Every structure is written in structure tokens, then in C-alpha cells.
Amino acid sequence: MTISRRLSIAALALVAVAAAMWTPGQLGESAVVPGRGAEISTSGCGDGSLGVTAVTVGESQEALDRQSGDISAIGFSSVRLPIEWPRIELSPGTFDWSQIDAQVDSFLAKGVGVLGVVTWAPTFAVPVENQLVRNPAPADPAAFAQFAAEAAQHFDGRISTWEVWNEPNVGAAFGPIVNVDLYSRMLVQSYQRIKAVDPSLTVLTGGTSPTADNATDLSPASFVRELYRLGAGGSFDGVAMHPYSYIPLSNANNVGESGSDIELVREQMVAAGDENKKIWFTEFGVPTGGPTNLTEIQQAQYLVDGISYLRSLPYCAGLFLFDFRDVATGSASQEYNFGLVRSDYTPKASLAAVESIM
């Protein structure tokens, strides 16, 4: 029996057991877990730690309080939060950290560590011709690195792990088209500026989106290969990836699938002499709505399979599920249906399944 087949059988069994054990109403008790620190584990995925994203915490204070409490009570060790330049530097030199301060402090107060993703660019820092582009890349790597330094300094003692941009290998997130030369300069300068704040801080590449090489995007392996070719290999402590898969990840080994992407990225790291660095899987999830048309039971099965598979990799450094809560359950947009709980906070089968292997 293959490893992937054993993982699939184990996933089915865990989902069944977890569903039987789950009792509605377990969420909503905002309990601080004593003794849990704010540091993110760097010992690898095998220690059982598991992180999560929480994209809807900015909706309201109630949403933040509810989700930070639930995420802590469930046992997630860390949360991945975007530190968005346009939301903080409202005009050149004018900063408002209040909203993100509230989010970071809410999680830290409950013993949940924070991975910060310094990302996006305000209109004043974008080339004029790209100001109407979705998620445009900044014009000046130095300006972005300056903001990264401001963020690292502001959160010194609160955030110890930083990811530089979100999905910079695709034009949809680094518009208008992937530009590895620009990103590599951003990464090198951001690494230098963040380390100047505290050399012990961990700096990761921006998590790659699963895609193939095309006119606007680069596959994860091609993107990482280019970072090394451009001399950025000494400017990150780990590589970040987003290995989304709408089939069990342990079986996603064909060219263009996320299992294959992981292997190819690892090959690039080893070829560059970076075998001692690890891969952080800073987003991994399965939607229950949209064109994929997967059921909640399938979501639970695929998540258990994927978590088990990623934890089995000796070079896995960190793992974050996307996402804790649906943005809009039942929406035609699959991006709004990745939650472990629905938008009304009722749990999907995946929540109990994930809890059973934490």
C-alpha cells in the first residue's frame, strides 16, 4: 500500500471519529490558554503545532474578540496576519497602526503567536500607470523595505517571523505581471532592514501561489530558481509556499500540482546549497463552495490528508490553514468558503477533524 493511500484511509477514519465526538456550541468561549507563549515554533511541523489565517477579524471588534478567543481555545499555536502598507501609511510619513495593533495584541493576549505578512503598496508608492491595477507592485524596492523596517520596529518583541509580500509569483498579487527582478531587490533590502531591527527575526520569501509559467505568472519552482539566480538566496531564512490542492495533496504529484511543486521547489533549494533551510506552508486550505463544488466532508478529508502529508516532510518548518472562518458561506466565490467554520460561526466537519490531529 502506498504512503498516499495510507494517508487517505487515515483521513477518512479521523473525520468519522472527529464528527462523532464533536458537540455543537464548543466555540465562543474566549479562554486564554495558560503557559502558551507568543513565539512561533521554528522546530518544524512535526512538533504538532498548527497555525491558521483569520481574514475576517477586521470586520469588527466583536469579530476580532470572537475569533482570537476561538482560535486560542481550539489550540492553534499561531495566526498569520497581513500587515498592509496601504492601511497603515495613509500618506507619506503618516502612520496609523491602531487597527493592526488591536489584532496583534488580541491574539498575543490569548497566547497565539503572530506571523506578519508585510504586503501591498499604497497608491502613492505605485507607478502612475499601474495605480488602477489590482494589487500593484511598488515602484521602489527601497520604499517598501523602509516600510518593512517600520513594521519590524513597531512590532519588535511582538512579531518574530516576517513574510515579505503575499504570492509575488503571480500578476494578480504583484501586478500587473510577475517581476522577479523587482521582487528580489525588495526581498534583499527588506531582509537587511528587518535584520537591522533584530538579527534574530525570521524572514521568509512571499508565499507562492500554485500556478504554471505563463505570460503573467511563474510557477513556484521557476520563481524560486530566479531568486537564486538573481542573488537573493542569502536574503531569506525560509521559503514560503501555498500548496492549495483540490484533490488529496498526498496524491497531487503530477506536473503542475502542488505536491509536485513542493518537490521541485525543494530541488531548487538543495541545488543552491540551501538544504538546511526549510519550507513554510503559510497557506493551505480547501473550499466548500464555488466552482470546485467540494462537500464539507471532502474538505475535512483533504485537510487531514494534507496536514498529515506536509508534517511528514522533514523540511516542513511551519503550516498555516486558510482559513478559520468563511467570508460568506455559500457564495459563488470559492475564496469566500475556505473556513473551518461558516460565516455564522457554526462549525464544519473540518473543524473537528483538524482538532483531532492537533
pLDDT digits 0-9 by tens, 130-166: 999 999 999 999 999 999 999 999 999 999 999 999 9
Predicted TM-score (pTM) of this structure: 0.91
Stretch 184-209: mean pLDDT: 98
Stretch 59-64: mean pLDDT: 97
Residue 268 reports pLDDT greater than 90 = yes
14-28, 37-51, 311-325: least confidently modelled range: 14-28
Query: What is the residue extent of each domain of the chain?
Result: 3-355
The architecture that CATH gives domain 3-355 is Alpha-Beta Barrel (3.20)
Return the higher-pLDDT residue of 37 and 274: 274
Tell me what percent of the residues of the chain surpass a pLDDT of 70: 89
pLDDT value for 353? 97
Exposed / middle / buried, residue 151 (Cβ in 10 Å: 0-12, 13-18, 19+): buried
Secondary structure percentages of the chain, helix, strand, coil, to 5 = 40, 15, 45
Exposed / middle / buried, residue 63 (Cβ in 10 Å: 0-12, 13-18, 19+): middle
- Strands 78-84 and 89-91, bridge-based pairing: unpaired
Distances (CA, A) of 322 to 128, 130, 289, 304: 33, 29, 14, 13
Which pLDDT band, with edges at 50, 70 and 90, does 27 fall under?
low
